[in-house]
Structure 1
Amino acid sequence: MTWLHQLNPTPAFPPYTGRYKVGTVDVEIPVAELDSPSPAPSSASDLSTVAFRIFYPCHPDSQQRNVRWIPSPQREYVGAYARFLGANGAFSQFFSLIPQILYYVSIPAHQNAHVLEPQTSNRRWPVMIFSHGLGGSRNAYSHIVGSLASHGMVVIAPDHRDGSSPISFVHTPGEKEELKRVEYKKIAHKASTEVYESRDEQLRIRLWELGLIHDALLKIDERVALSNVAEDHKKHGGLTMFAHKLNVHEPGSISFAGHSFGAASMVQFIKSIYYRPDSQEPGYKPLFTPSSSSPLVRQVTPTTPVILLDLWTLPIQSPATAWLRNHPMPCYDSPTTGGSNLLSILSDAFFKWKANLEETKHIVAKPAGADPNQPGPHLFYPIASAHLSQSDFGVLFPWLTTKVFGAKEPERVLKLNVRAILQVLRNGGVEVADTSIRDMELDEEDAASRKVLHDERILSRKKDSVRGWVSLTTEPEPEPEADLTREKGPVDAVVEGEVLGETVQESQR
């Protein structure tokens, strides 16, 4: 395959475009040191820690080395990704060449750099928690979360141990430290009783982890001593540099975001916190039951910003959580806020997956009978983008995503996502830095003439306001034109190891 010979010897990330340099810290905290808002699921009995990576604005003179994109142990991770992606056809050749190169790919964030003093009016950095999708990890969305950090946010990227990552590891502290492997769980993508039950069990772990991470953030900001057993942090200082610098205590202050299964996780997380039945609802089997006295319950309000990237809706359709599904997103409890702080961005592939698109609209839409003047959600998709385009894979391996998925301009697609996220946050009162004139695709003279302060164009519903950036409504889509008559589905749109091989083969026919 001649296109493989065009491979850049070492794939690299483009620089972040915000005003701040970005630091990063790998974190793994023993569960025993945290207070869970909800009882631990039985399937998490052997998960003794919760893990996440923090991306944050750091001092401009920081010179610490960048962090490796493939975590340690690298050989284990590369092998797991090869198995996950289905190393056959194009990918078998890809993985015969790439493993040694992957070891040297680094995230352009300074490892364990000292956090910058907050530049906001309340002297605290705004915080976002970003949940990864199937096949993801705490590092797999480094460019989008690092870009947000470069604009003045502290972004928390969990490493979910629910079997959704190609592989993950649990460091168990003790006299003789043990390393527990959590392997990828192969679960079908078509609806069935067994699939719903399996995805529900994964969500129980994910929501429990998110609750623990929220508690960890409160303790970190309050300067509570916590152990950090992450491999690359053992020889460095603790987490005390973040003390009193995180805006995590005020209700509605934390933003919640995710991609694919991570977006589904955030929908279930937000709703499970906000809607808690007074009595047992017939047929409802809650996945997460935070105590009414938990600070987490006070955190989620109608003003909470929620960002859903390529929402994968199958897990939300489980019969066990139908009661929750029938409730609107909490933002609609406010007549003024409405969907103004709710952003859903689809890839071109997910837009063409009709069943998932219609369910996404159902989830983010205003409830029936809502005030017609109440704002609805922001709903967009960038043309010629793939499911991978919102992760690091698209920007690291553009030739691969173009050849296999037909995606174009991966770096620009990520910038469009970041622009929209930042503007939704600004409109909600979150203090983030201005988007650069270059990212807004304006020259300085044009920007000056328009007196551009923010990036309102990116949220405009006008056609062609931004090239290749399409605004959608929550109304049903018209029947597609002839070239789109074959409805997209999981084989085309969801990036899973067990179906990726079929996608590759189809693209090569």
Structure 2
Amino acid sequence: MPTLPDPPGPYEVGATTFTLPISPRGIGTLEPALLLEEVAFTAFYPTSLKQSPLPKAFRKGLHWLTRPLRDAVQGYAHFAGISAMLVWPLVLFFGSQLKIPVYLNAPPLSHDTASQASIDDASSSVPKSTSSPWPLVIFSHGLGGGRTTYSQLCAHLASSGRVVLALEHRDGTGPVFRTRSVDPATSHRGLYLRPEDVIWDEEVPPEEANLALRAEQLEFRRWEVYLAYHAFRSLTGEGEHQSLLRVDGASIIGEIWKGVARCDKDVALVGHSFGGATIFSTLSNPPPSTDTRPIPISHALALDPWLEPLPSPGPSPIASANDQHPKMFVINAEGFTLWKDHFTRLQDLVRAWDGGRLITFVGATHLSFSDFLVMMPRPLRDASAKPNLRSINNIAQSFLDDKLEEALDGLTTRKMEIHWVDPSRWSRNKRRKRRLVGNVGDVVLH
């Protein structure tokens, strides 16, 4: 049975999924295809069952796959372009029981409580802390992803003392979603959206349809980022949840969330692939409406970002009131670094941010940043999957902690060198391939 490792930090991790119903609004020119009527995200956060009056009331394990399972099956079958009959066995044998090792709907741990716990127990592994709230991280997934696809990273950061909002984008980039809070009687399912599924107001050449759709989806995602942030800020600021709902329909106790997250400064944006493009798009555009306050972003972490949907030249950071741009850090996998034109553009983009840093993990693949490779059963799992993800998560945490240089000093680093590798005897493709020089897990500094 596939399993996921426990979060490594000193704090236990809770997870609660929220939805925010809003007045339906069309984004861009694609109103029928991109209709924003509900924002959804899973919050990962520090918790402590020792501090809970009902420690046995909160079970450990958040389903990794969307429920009901038929939605997940239809979603992944549609995304992969295969029959649902082929997906059902995989779901039943591998995915139906897969759970994220976090405590479902457990109350968040306040910073004050964590501080007192470390004082009361001198042997506690919980680090000493101040009375300030936990830092806030907003995570944006890539194509084919969702709010649980990167649970290892999100739970890792939460176990270190952060609140992470993992968005479930409703822009047709995930395999499946189901609206729940607008009207339960008319709940509907949304599937992955392909360019050929879209009817444009004005004729768009077929060769431009893909990137045109992605541009509209980026605007949609910026709305989701801002709406999720401001709804959660209201919840943690004054305990006011307004229209915010729990996905399971249970009541939100606003008082337990008050003061949990620091939303007024030092917010971090993190995203993978198209989520990385979302990060750059958010940082290079003003808030989506004139009455929407900016997000006080201090750190931006892009994981193997896909740049093609972004306008060229650019994007570049917009000027802020104090002329200070967020700290920028990009972690690439080997494939995107060997993609010549794309990597050249990425280097130029990172230079636009003062002090921006760019590294590549040798041997890492585009999926190395997600849960996919580590949740496979041992016979099917690559031996480097867990070490790669652990290294990625550790260095991501170090960047958010402003300890990046110390973390890099503890890794094997090298300059970028490329060599040609002969195909294996069993490979169908007999062409030689370009590879980075180094061992799996080495870090190339650019």
- Please tell me the TM-score bracket, short chain as reference: 0.7 to 0.9
**Contact 2:73 2:87 (C-alpha < 8 Å) held by counterparts:** no
- Does 2:19 align with 1:28? yes
**Contact 2:46 2:159 (C-alpha < 8 Å) held by counterparts:** yes
Question: In the alignment, which residue of structure 2 is the partner of 1:75?
Answer: 70
- Does 2:208 align with 1:193? yes
**Contact 2:15 2:45 (C-alpha < 8 Å) held by counterparts:** yes
Match of 2:134 among 119, 125, 147: 125
Match of 1:376 among 347, 351, 355: 355
The normalised TM-score by structure 1 is: 0.69
- SS class of match (2:179): strand
Question: In the alignment, which residue of structure 2 is the partner of 1:387?
Answer: 366
User: What is the deviation of 1:419?
Assistant: 1.6
Q: Which whole-Å CA distance do the structure 1 matches of 2:407 and 2:63 have between them?
A: 32
- Does 2:222 align with 1:207? yes
Structure 2 regions of 5+ residues with no counterpart?
115-128, 197-204, 423-431, 436-446
- SS class of match (1:203): helix
**Contact 2:36 2:220 (C-alpha < 8 Å) held by counterparts:** no
Mapping 1:247-266, distance limit 5 Å? 247-250=262-265, 253-266=266-279
Q: Which whole-Å CA distance do the structure 2 matches of 1:305 and 1:457 have between them?
A: 17
Q: Which whole-Å CA distance do the structure 2 matches of 1:353 and 1:398 have between them?
A: 31
More helix by share: 1
User: What is the deviation of 1:141?
Assistant: 0.7
Moved more, 66-75 or 392-401: 392-401
Q: Which whole-Å CA distance do the structure 2 matches of 1:416 and 1:102 have between them?
A: 25
**Contact 2:2 2:377 (C-alpha < 8 Å) held by counterparts:** no
User: What is the deviation of 1:20?
Assistant: 0.2
1:105-137: per-residue Cα shift (whole Å, max 9, x none)?
001010110111115434201000000000000
The normalised TM-score by structure 2 is: 0.78
Question: In the alignment, which residue of structure 1 is the partner of 2:176?
Answer: 167
- SS class of match (2:374): helix
User: What is the deviation of 1:328?
Assistant: 4.7
- How many corresponding residue pairs? 392
Q: Which whole-Å CA distance do the structure 2 matches of 1:26 and 1:305 have between them?
A: 24
Q: Which whole-Å CA distance do the structure 2 matches of 1:131 and 1:326 have between them?
A: 18
Q: Which whole-Å CA distance do the structure 2 matches of 1:385 and 1:92 have between them?
A: 32
For residues 345 and 92 of structure 1, do their structure 2 counterparts lie closer, same or farther at Cα, with a shift above 3 Å needed? Answer: farther
- Does 2:19 align with 1:11? no
- SS class of match (1:25): strand
User: What is the deviation of 1:74?
Assistant: 1.6
Q: Which whole-Å CA distance do the structure 2 matches of 1:121 and 1:128 have between them?
A: 19
Question: In the alignment, which residue of structure 1 is the partner of 2:165?
Answer: 156
RMSD value, Cα: 3.2
Question: In the alignment, which residue of structure 2 is the partner of 1:106?
Answer: 99
**Contact 1:457 1:466 (C-alpha < 8 Å) held by counterparts:** no
Structure 1 regions of 5+ residues with no counterpart?
1-9, 274-287, 368-374, 428-453, 489-509
Question: In the alignment, which residue of structure 1 is the partner of 2:394?
Answer: 419
User: What is the deviation of 1:408?
Assistant: 4.5
**Contact 2:241 2:252 (C-alpha < 8 Å) held by counterparts:** no
Letter in 2 for 1:260: S
**Contact 2:420 2:434 (C-alpha < 8 Å) held by counterparts:** no
Letter in 2 for 1:73: P
For residues 218 and 231 of structure 1, do their structure 2 counterparts lie closer, same or farther at Cα, with a shift above 3 Å needed? Answer: closer
Q: Which whole-Å CA distance do the structure 2 matches of 1:28 and 1:326 have between them?
A: 30
Q: Which whole-Å CA distance do the structure 2 matches of 1:192 and 1:388 have between them?
A: 26
Question: In the alignment, which residue of structure 2 is the partner of 1:242?
Answer: 257
Mapping 1:104-503, distance limit 5 Å? 104-118=97-111, 119=114, 120-174=129-183, 177-187=185-195, 192-221=207-236, 222-232=238-248, 234-250=249-265, 253-273=266-286, 289-291=288-290, 294-296=292-294, 299-300=296-297, 304-317=298-311, 322=313, 325=314, 327-328=316-317, 341-366=327-352, 376-397=355-376, 408-427=383-402, 456-460=405-409, 465-467=410-412, 470=413, 480-483=418-421, 486=433
For residues 400 and 137 of structure 1, do their structure 2 counterparts lie closer, same or farther at Cα, with a shift above 3 Å needed? Answer: farther
Q: Which whole-Å CA distance do the structure 1 matches of 2:375 and 2:206 have between them?
A: 32
Question: In the alignment, which residue of structure 2 is the partner of 1:58?
Answer: 47
- SS class of match (1:55): strand
For residues 458 and 398 of structure 1, do their structure 2 counterparts lie closer, same or farther at Cα, with a shift above 3 Å needed? Answer: farther
